[in-house]
Amino acid sequence: MEHTMDKIQAMLTPQSIAVIGASSKPGKVGYEIFSNLKNGGYNGELIPINPGSQEILGVPCLPTIVDCGKPLDLAIIILPAPLVYQAVKEALSVKTKSLCIISAGFKEVNKEGAALEQEITQLCSTQKTRLLGPNCLGLINTHHAMNASFANRMPKEGAISVISQSGALCTAILDWAAGRHLGLAKLISMGNKADLSEIDFLKTFTEDPETKVIVGYLESIGAGHEFIKAAEAAAMIKPVVILKSGVTQAGGKAASSHTGSLAGADIAYGSAFKRSGIIRADTFEQLFDFATALAMQPLPTGKRVAIITNAGGPGIMAADAVELSGLEVSILAHASATALRKKLPAAASVGNPIDVLGDADPKRYVDAVNTAMDDSNVDAIIVILTPQAMTRPAETARAIAACSESKKPILVSFMGGEDVMPGRDELVAANLPDYPTPERAVAALKAMFEYHQWLKRPSRVLQRFAVNRRRVERIIHRDIREKIFQMGEAEAKMVLDAYGFNVLPGRLAADAGEAVSFAEKIGYPVVMKIASPHIVHKSDIGGVKLNLTSAGEVYDAFDLMMLRVSQKNPTAQIDGAYIERMANPGREVIIGMTRDPQFGPLLMFGLGGIFVEVMRDVTFHIAPITEEEAMTMLSQTRSFSLLTGVRGQAEADIQAIANALQRISQLVTDFPQIVEMDINPFIVGEVGTDSVAADARITLAKTD
């Protein structure tokens, strides 16, 4: 690991670079990259490799990298795809520490390209040489004066590092940063991610003293679990803001459980991001709206916002946005109002928003900002300026900057265009994040606040329950051996029983006589449920009978059920009916799990019946889950208050549900063979009663 980080370091801060395929023809990528390095201030050793040229931009060319005769830190390859393999081989032969392949024509094109890409990647891995790309824009490290990309803009030194799965987006980012005079630290175009991926750069940037904020644009994430680990470790140290695109492309997999059918791909990403403290941007604009605020200002330690404005309307807009976002328009301390009353004109409003009036000079803004800064009822400050007759945007920006003490975040909105632009430039220069509208400033503040809350979350303590793991192991292994991938209710309940769930006494009856004799043993009333690996929604086809209270009822119910089910589903294999003690009445909830291909087990909770099926009122969380997180899953459903005893009902045993979620979490973490499961219903009584897993289904991963 240490070794691998060294190699990435060699790539980011190389002392020597070979540009294989450097060209002397302007407009060619091989020229652009070499010229960006040469003319961009890079002052390490720079060697153009081109067998057809003597020199490029005055630097002598070598025919091949082998001719360097020594290990270089980084080789950048810009050759037609068919020539790349040979070039990589040569680079490795002289122990080049890291490679960046700009060339396209690999996995993104066709199968042959994918095969070639894999060969190259394997070749590199034999020497543990790290590879960026192929099919990428290159990389930039402003603090190393290195523009190893074919983007013509080199940003100034800054605190934000960017990783992007789209090269074109990098050019848009660079152009946008230039327009706003904003610096960046590092920018990495990851291309096809044949080797180096977001996980590597998350780790690298976490350690990088020049990176204060990590920004990522991702279209796919490979190793979900590793990603979560790396992202969480990074987010503990510095903010990570990510835009994940492709969110609406449905997973398209057939799901046989409720949980599976309700959990879209985006829900898994959402859960993973939340869990790992990633600040999620929903749009490209938010990506840098959030990142600049996080890079420039301290985090708010609370949600109470003071708004300072020279215009009533935009002040109201800001207040609306604050309230809608879940932050609070602070009630200023009495002393603040008194202080402001003395300093501001009589017509000024000393409430919140603080209206410093249309003719406000810089001093009025300073007085208001200082007052808010000293007010213990204020956690963050939004400053709004509109360009009115007497307004001096640039001076005001400088004055505000001078009174920022890094105690509380200040976010600014200078609204307008040309007149306010000098002021906006001053703000950026003074590390004050600036937004064209108050709403965008508020959204950024909200993201900061949520990140602060995540940082302050209690430490995650996973409870391990004493369970009979061996028993479940035996059941699962036998099923898989026998190619049974859909566990019947009886078996699923044995599994749950082994993991500490209450299940009611019950047995599988093959005929009506057996059903009656089991019922007599179990004691009335009983429930009868069709047992078939092919029937998912039992009650829809008459496959469930509740509250059977006598032998006669059981006898009749069994025969009728067999008749009805075979009429409605003639091809289904019927194993008989499951006879079970009827549960005490209680609240029905559903607890489930579906395994996301990227992020693994995704737990679901919802109230049963219509709440899941019609209202889709469910929450998800990636396993393993803590008690705290389980409680949050419960409380975030809209219908939660039905469990806490609204409308005169007794409070349900919420703790029992949280406990069940944790046990399922442990079960599905212990057994990756389980790909989907539902406990539906899980019947919860009042506190003090036993909650029961009344029905359950478990699906195992198919094997050949």
Residues 175-204 that bind its own copies (CB under 8 A): 175-180
Q: Which is nearer to its own copies, 155 or 600 (CB)?
A: 155
Which of 10, 17, 29, 263 lies at the binding interface for its own copies (CB under 8 A)?
29
Which of 14, 32, 78, 693 lies at the binding interface for its own copies (CB under 8 A)?
32
Binding mask 474-513 for its own copies (x = CB under 8 A): ----------------------------------------
Exposure b/e, 64-92, CB count within 10 A at least 16 = b: bbeebeeebbbbbbbbebeebeebbebbb
Which of 417, 458, 570, 585 lies at the binding interface for its own copies (CB under 8 A)?
417
Q: How far is the CB of 505 from its own copies (least distance, A)?
A: 29
Q: How far is the CB of 217 from its own copies (least distance, A)?
A: 6
Residues 633 and 621: beta-carbon distance below 8 Å: yes
Q: Which is nearer to its own copies, 281 or 495 (CB)?
A: 281
Residues 177 and 133: beta-carbon distance below 8 Å: no
User: Is 398 exposed, middle or buried (CB count within 10 Å of its CB: 0-12, 13-18, 19+)?
Assistant: middle
Residues 645 and 651: beta-carbon distance below 8 Å: yes
Q: Under the criterion CB under 8 A, does residue 610 sit at the interface with its own copies? A: yes
Which of 10, 241, 242, 317 lies at the binding interface for its own copies (CB under 8 A)?
317
Sole window of 399-407, 463-471, 590-598, 609-617 interacting with its own copies (rule: CB under 8 A): 609-617
Q: Which is nearer to its own copies, 316 or 394 (CB)?
A: 316
Q: How far is the CB of 413 from its own copies (least distance, A)?
A: 9
Which of 52, 58, 585, 648 lies at the binding interface for its own copies (CB under 8 A)?
648
Q: How far is the CB of 353 from its own copies (least distance, A)?
A: 11
Q: Under the criterion CB under 8 A, does residue 467 sit at the interface with its own copies? A: no
**Per-residue three-class SS string for 390-428:** CCCHHHHHHHHHHCCCCCCCEEEEECCCCCCHHHHHHHH
Q: Which is nearer to its own copies, 27 or 252 (CB)?
A: 27
3-state class of 585 per DSSP? coil
Alpha-carbon separation of residue 515 from 506, 525, 546 (angstroms): 10, 13, 14
Residues 377-396 that bind its own copies (CB under 8 A): 386-390
Q: Tally the residues of the chain.
A: 704
Residues that bind its own copies (rule: CB under 8 A) add up to a total of 81
Q: How far is the CB of 387 from its own copies (least distance, A)?
A: 5
Q: Which is nearer to its own copies, 182 or 512 (CB)?
A: 182
Residues 515 and 489: beta-carbon distance below 8 Å: no
Given the DSSP bridges, would you call strands 213-218 and 279-281 parallel, antiparallel or unpaired?
unpaired
Q: Under the criterion CB under 8 A, does residue 546 sit at the interface with its own copies? A: no
Q: How far is the CB of 71 from its own copies (least distance, A)?
A: 31
Q: How far is the CB of 527 from its own copies (least distance, A)?
A: 18
Query: What's the token pair of residue 143?
Result: 């603090």
Sole window of 17-25, 305-313, 657-665, 682-690 interacting with its own copies (rule: CB under 8 A): 305-313
Q: Which is nearer to its own copies, 211 or 309 (CB)?
A: 309
Which of 277, 438, 488, 506 lies at the binding interface for its own copies (CB under 8 A)?
438
Binding mask 137-176 for its own copies (x = CB under 8 A): -------------xxxx----------xxxxxx-xx-xxx
Which of 190, 262, 263, 321 lies at the binding interface for its own copies (CB under 8 A)?
321
Q: Under the criterion CB under 8 A, does residue 576 sit at the interface with its own copies? A: no
Q: Which is nearer to its own copies, 397 or 512 (CB)?
A: 397
Q: How far is the CB of 539 from its own copies (least distance, A)?
A: 8
Please, which residues have CB within 8 angstroms of residue 241's CB and are 6 or more apart in sequence?
213, 214, 215, 216, 278, 279, 280, 281, 287, 290, 291, 294, 447
Please, which residues have CB within 8 angstroms of residue 92's CB and are 6 or more apart in sequence?
123, 124, 126, 127, 129
Q: How far is the CB of 70 from its own copies (least distance, A)?
A: 32
Sole window of 44-52, 120-128, 432-440, 690-698 interacting with its own copies (rule: CB under 8 A): 432-440
Query: What's the token pair of residue 536?
Result: 């998912």
Q: For residues 590 and 258, what is the distance between their CA atoms, to the nearest angstrom? A: 9
Checking 472-476 for CB contacts under 8 A at 24+ apart, the result is 472/498, 472/499, 472/667, 472/670, 472/671, 473/671, 476/671, 476/673, 476/674, 476/700
Residues 211-230 that bind its own copies (CB under 8 A): 217, 219
Q: For residues 601 and 702, what is the distance between their CA atoms, to the nearest angstrom? A: 16
Residues 617-646 that bind its own copies (CB under 8 A): 617, 638-639, 641-642, 646
Q: How far is the CB of 170 from its own copies (least distance, A)?
A: 9
Q: For residues 457 and 448, what is the distance between their CA atoms, to the nearest angstrom? A: 14
Q: For residues 558 and 564, what is the distance between their CA atoms, to the nearest angstrom? A: 10
3-state class of 698 per DSSP? strand
Which of 226, 285, 374, 497 lies at the binding interface for its own copies (CB under 8 A)?
285
CA proximity to 492, closest of 506, 513, 482:
506
CA proximity to 472, closest of 440, 494, 446:
494
Q: Under the criterion CB under 8 A, does residue 434 sit at the interface with its own copies? A: no
Q: Which is nearer to its own copies, 16 or 352 (CB)?
A: 352
Q: For residues 390 and 388, what is the distance between their CA atoms, to the nearest angstrom? A: 6
For residue 144, the 8-state DSSP code is: G
